[in-house]
Amino acid sequence: VPSFNPPSDATLRRLADIVGEQNALCDPARQAPYLTEWRDLYHGSTPIVLRPGSTEEVSRIMAIAHAERIGVVPQAGNTGLVGGQIPTGPEIVLSVDRMTRIREVDRQRTSMTVEAGVILADAHAEAEKHDRIFPLSMASQGSCRIGGNLATNAGGVQVLAYGNARALTLGLEAVLPDGRIWNGLTNLKKDNTGYDLRDLMIGSEGTLGIITAAVLKLFPRPHEQVTAFAGLPDLDAALVFLRLAQEHAGPALTAFEFMPAIAIDMVVMHIPGMQNPLAGRSPWYALLELSSPRAEGGMNDALDALLASASEKNLITDATIATSLDKSRALWKLRESISEAQKREGGSIKHDVSVPITTIPEFIRRANAIVEKICPGARPVPFGHMGDGNVHYNVSQPQGMSRAAFLALWETMNVAVHDLVVSLEGSISAEHGIGRLKRAELARLKPALELELMRRIKAVIDPLGIMNPGKVL
Amino acid sequence: VPSFNPPSDATLRRLADIVGEQNALCDPARQAPYLTEWRDLYHGSTPIVLRPGSTEEVSRIMAIAHAERIGVVPQAGNTGLVGGQIPTGPEIVLSVDRMTRIREVDRQRTSMTVEAGVILADAHAEAEKHDRIFPLSMASQGSCRIGGNLATNAGGVQVLAYGNARALTLGLEAVLPDGRIWNGLTNLKKDNTGYDLRDLMIGSEGTLGIITAAVLKLFPRPHEQVTAFAGLPDLDAALVFLRLAQEHAGPALTAFEFMPAIAIDMVVMHIPGMQNPLAGRSPWYALLELSSPRAEGGMNDALDALLASASEKNLITDATIATSLDKSRALWKLRESISEAQKREGGSIKHDVSVPITTIPEFIRRANAIVEKICPGARPVPFGHMGDGNVHYNVSQPQGMSRAAFLALWETMNVAVHDLVVSLEGSISAEHGIGRLKRAELARLKPALELELMRRIKAVIDPLGIMNPGKVL
């Protein structure tokens, strides 16, 4: 971590002048929401939280930070799961949470230009006004903001059909570490004029600059959507079932989630009103969705044919189709309640990993054995986005063990599971990023050549090292 | 352009030893196919053409080039349209045309690992063996090679549904300028562990390293495909028709091409056996295709409904649906024959540009006026991928003018058309890249900040400037 200066009082006053006193937070009580995060792993401190109202103000702040060599932590919705948005000490916090303008929806309604502080759910609502969808979708969508979604290249439940944040972005506006504004707000689908600066900035977690606005892709709104929940004998069958679903539905397969029996058990036990929609209990379940832009797109027939074929091949043991929007929402709520239900079971050690899709069953079998060895009785609850190879390999504490004693095993368990992930050619961060939480693991596990290239790039775009210091690299 | 050393005789011998004498071409006759390109704009010279057979050999060549400060021009299928693959003088040519192995198709058949020298059509054939498609598709697919496709971030006719080369690539293997091998051959769909080195390398046109292999995405093979050819009153109607098609079909709309009457006239006149499939003559035509992975995916009904709706709204004046594979091929041949037919009409000045989709009609109207002023009687033949905003704005010479006199206007016309493109927030290279042809235009028109960032990145990844010197930047 490079060293930098804490801002002087005079500098703090100049910074406050840019955004106005009411948007320059020095009072601990007003700072508090910007200095903790919902997993409660990190508690930061900072001389000042600045809430600029425009790109111009962000630019002026960065020009001063650059001249005075002051560390800057960009923050959007503060929903990040790896601590990337929390300062470590003397840095100032630059929150984009006042930059909530939707600047434009283009005439063809294929894109919209939004500022970094727009809440994801508000972006959804705006798209729907124009009979379109912006498909990036995740549990935190009521509070996460576009700037953070892009800075972390967020994923979610619709990556299978629509891609992650990077794939959903056409153009960017960002302020560079020296305060200059990069206007890359294009809505072009094709532009082969040099290096891909956009995709370099997306996913760099605020270490190369501050994203202030973006042009997001819009898609036709599905007018037919069918959801099914199926019981599976084992994960190998789930793999074949996924392939079959892709062959039947192609891009119409908009979700394919998997979860173990224990996840459903926990949801049914802890979340009021939830129940297993299938009569029998299966070791594994899949939740899948097919969508068509046409009201009569044949999705029901396609789903019937898929389930019949899967049943005939003994890939599924039981299945139910949601015949109404309410029933579909209930199925999705099962899936979305897993994390909350798990919380009620005590401590949970989490891994957001991806592996080549075909190795998911092997990964889970071997990870379970590793976990059992480290902590006998611990209960793995692996679930996630099968079509993306993305496993949320979360482990609930053994019943009766103390929460603190279990969580003390976090690092040991992470290291062992990540070693397995790397041996299977997987990724130790599928969608949450690196931030502070996985920085040491990245340094330990990422090939030296890649780390070197990243550090070289960082060194020429942020030569003073003031952008989100101590994160990622 | 940085200066570098021409290789000494001793160095040439060491380089030849790596690949074997038969793959080290010093004889002008054997070098010739590597030193000219099919538009015949560039003629290069080189002390040696090296044809390594493996990544290891590429690595050894680059280590020597780095140590001796020798410029290197990577080449794959030599089908590039901007001269990026042709040496300017003392550089050596490194052709990957012997690296044609398909290393692996994964068990789930969602990806395949191919070497950089695999011909695109061979990649298609391999995918089809596994009942899959690799959707990158363009006129040169019988001779272009994957390494070049990725180095230039190639586009083509299916970008609308599947994206360009960048979107179709999961992992990369590349040799860096100092000879080190970067193994980024992952088939993960999600990996948020640091900066996006893959997308930085893709589209960098051989200026940051040499792509030696890639993991390509595969997709389910469409089992139903319907094609239509429609006459349109004007381009504004075409825009609304495109939007309607996207609303009807969503991701099932796999192509939407537009072309003017003069293009069809030229094809009918010059290409044996071709005729206008519509009875009447329209000022503009659209060629569109809908695809479904299911044999009974309802594509015929969807197309019927789309055309009925478009006709009712007076967006199209006439249309025909291909009722067989042969008829569909005939429709596609009309589109694919435009460039060849244009050749028979004498000289043609070309622009591969993109503009925001909604400004396509304005762009073409204003470009036509500009062209008429520069060269009265010149005949614009603008066609392309409407859904991508990509216009091949090609201009045929006036009848009766000398070819040479017309082509002497190339730069004047390019500059004027590119100025218009930039004023409309478009791109001067939609899919062909920059290479040598558009290097001066890039320097003239790209924002200084972006050029600076690109140069800084180039300087830390290729500090000696030996990779494809004089190209792009």
Residues of A with Cβ-Cβ distance to B438 under 8 angstroms: 193
The amino acid sitting at A51 is R
Stretch B18-41: mean pLDDT, rounded? Answer: 95
Residues of A with Cβ-Cβ distance to B199 under 8 angstroms: 166, 196, 199-200
Distance from CA of B158 to the nearest CA of A (A): 12
Mean pLDDT of chain B: 95
Q: What is the pLDDT of residue B393?
A: 98
Stretch A449-460: mean pLDDT, rounded? Answer: 98
Pairing status of strand B348-349 against strand B132-133: unpaired
CB contact (8 A) between residue A155 and residue B192: yes
ipTM for the complex shown: 0.95
Q: Are B152 and B84 in contact (CB under 8 A)?
A: yes
CB contact (8 A) between residue B251 and residue A247: no
Of A212, A226, A222, the residue nearest A150 (C-alpha): A212
Pair of tokens at residue A421 = 């992930």
Whether A466 shows a pLDDT value over 90: the answer reads: yes
Whether B1 shows a pLDDT value over 60: the answer reads: no
CB contact (8 A) between residue B182 and residue A153: no
Q: For residue A26, give the 3-state DSSP assignment.
A: coil
Residues of A with Cβ-Cβ distance to B444 under 8 angstroms: none
How would you class A39 by CB atoms within 10 Å of its CB: exposed for 0-12, middle for 13-18, buried for 19 or more?
middle
CB contact (8 A) between residue B197 and residue A472: no
Instruction: Report the C-alpha gap between A461 and A139 in whole angstroms.
Output: 33
Distance from CA of B251 to the nearest CA of A (A): 6
Q: What is the pLDDT of residue B324?
A: 85
Whether B11 shows a pLDDT value over 70: the answer reads: yes
pLDDT band at B243; cut points 50, 70, 90: very high
B436-440's contacts with Cβ under 8 Å and 24+ in sequence apart are: B436/B42, B436/B82, B436/B83, B436/B84, B436/B86, B436/B88, B436/B470, B436/B471, B437/B41, B437/B81, B437/B82, B437/B83, B438/A193, B438/B82, B439/B470, B439/B471, B439/B472, B439/B473
Closest CA in chain B for residue A199: B196
Whether A459 shows a pLDDT value over 80: the answer reads: yes
Alpha helix locations (H) across A325-359?
325-336, 338-343
Closest CA in chain A for residue B250: A293
Closest CA in chain A for residue B131: A247
Q: For residue B183, give the 3-state DSSP assignment.
A: strand
Stretch A160-189: mean pLDDT, rounded? Answer: 97
pLDDT (tens digit per residue) in B55-69: 999 999 999 999 999
Q: What is the pLDDT of residue B323?
A: 80
Residues of B with Cβ-Cβ distance to A446 under 8 angstroms: 193-194
Which residue, among B132, B150, B162, B193, would best test binding to A if mutated, counting the most A CBs under 10 Å from its CB?
A: B193
Which residue, among A181, A195, A254, A467, would best test binding to B if mutated, counting the most B CBs under 10 Å from its CB?
A: A195
Q: What is the pLDDT of residue A205?
A: 98
CB contact (8 A) between residue A193 and residue B429: yes
- List the single residue in A305, A428, A456 with the smallest CB-CB distance to B460: A456
Instruction: Report the C-alpha gap between B210 and B175 in whole angstroms.
Output: 5
How would you class A254 by CB atoms within 10 Å of its CB: exposed for 0-12, middle for 13-18, buried for 19 or more?
buried
pLDDT (tens digit per residue) in B302-336: 999 999 999 999 999 999 999 888 899 999 999 99
pLDDT (tens digit per residue) in A412-441: 999 999 999 999 999 999 999 999 999 999
Residues of B with Cβ-Cβ distance to A235 under 8 angstroms: none
pLDDT band at A3; cut points 50, 70, 90: low
CB contact (8 A) between residue A358 and residue B193: no
Q: What is the pLDDT of residue B108?
A: 86
Q: Are A292 and A252 in contact (CB under 8 A)?
A: yes
Mean pLDDT of chain A: 95
Which residue, among A62, A190, A357, would best test binding to B if mutated, counting the most B CBs under 10 Å from its CB?
A: A190
Give Cα separations from B389 to A192, A353, B240, B257, B353 (angstroms). Answer: 13, 37, 14, 10, 8
Residues of A with Cβ-Cβ distance to B433 under 8 angstroms: 192
pLDDT (tens digit per residue) in B277-308: 999 899 999 999 999 988 888 899 999 999 99
Phi, psi dihedral angles at B176 (to 5 degrees): -80, 165
Q: What is the pLDDT of residue B41?
A: 86
Of B206, B200, B204, the residue nearest B175 (C-alpha): B206
Stretch A459-466: mean pLDDT, rounded? Answer: 97
**Alpha-carbon torsion (A349, A353, A357, A359), positive or negative:** negative
- List the single residue in B110, B390, B438 with the smallest CB-CB distance to A357: B110
Q: Are A218 and A130 in contact (CB under 8 A)?
A: yes
Closest CA in chain B for residue A432: B192
Residues of A with Cβ-Cβ distance to B176 under 8 angstroms: 449
Q: Are B28 and B43 in contact (CB under 8 A)?
A: no
Q: Are A80 and A37 in contact (CB under 8 A)?
A: yes
Residues of A with Cβ-Cβ distance to B151 under 8 angstroms: none
Whether A237 shows a pLDDT value over 70: the answer reads: yes
Q: Are B203 and B153 in contact (CB under 8 A)?
A: yes
Give helix then strand counts, H and E, for chain B: 17, 19
How many residues can be counted in chain B?
A: 473
- List the single residue in A190, A354, A456 with the smallest CB-CB distance to B189: A354
Phi, psi dihedral angles at A389 (to 5 degrees): 70, 15
Tally A–B CB contacts below 8 A. 268
Closest CA in chain A for residue B451: A194
Whether B27 shows a pLDDT value over 60: the answer reads: yes
How many residues can be counted in chain A?
A: 473
Stretch A86-92: mean pLDDT, rounded? Answer: 92
Residues of B with Cβ-Cβ distance to A183 under 8 angstroms: 447
Pair of tokens at residue A289 = 């969705």
pLDDT (tens digit per residue) in B382-418: 999 999 999 999 999 999 999 999 999 999 999 999 9
Distance from CA of B249 to the nearest CA of A (A): 6
pLDDT band at B3; cut points 50, 70, 90: low
CB contact (8 A) between residue A251 and residue B248: no
Instruction: Report the C-alpha gap between A45 and A2 in whole angstroms.
Output: 18
Pair of tokens at residue A243 = 């392939």
Distance from CA of A432 to the nearest CA of B (A): 7
Q: Over the Cα atoms of chain A, what is R_g? A: 23
Give Cα separations from B120 to B135, B142, B205, B424 (angstroms). Answer: 10, 7, 17, 34
Which residue, among A130, A189, A427, would best test binding to B if mutated, counting the most B CBs under 10 Å from its CB?
A: A189
Whether A361 shows a pLDDT value over 90: the answer reads: yes
Residues of A with Cβ-Cβ distance to B250 under 8 angstroms: 219-220, 222, 251, 292-293
pLDDT band at A2; cut points 50, 70, 90: low
pTM over 0.90? The answer is yes
pLDDT (tens digit per residue) in B81-92: 999 999 988 899
- List the single residue in B187, B357, B457 with the smallest CB-CB distance to A108: B357
How would you class A163 by CB atoms within 10 Å of its CB: exposed for 0-12, middle for 13-18, buried for 19 or more?
buried
Instruction: Report the C-alpha gap between A148 and A214 in whole angstroms.
Output: 11
Q: What is the pLDDT of residue B2?
A: 56
Whether A139 shows a pLDDT value over 90: the answer reads: no
CB contact (8 A) between residue A461 and residue B456: yes
Q: What is the pLDDT of residue A267?
A: 97
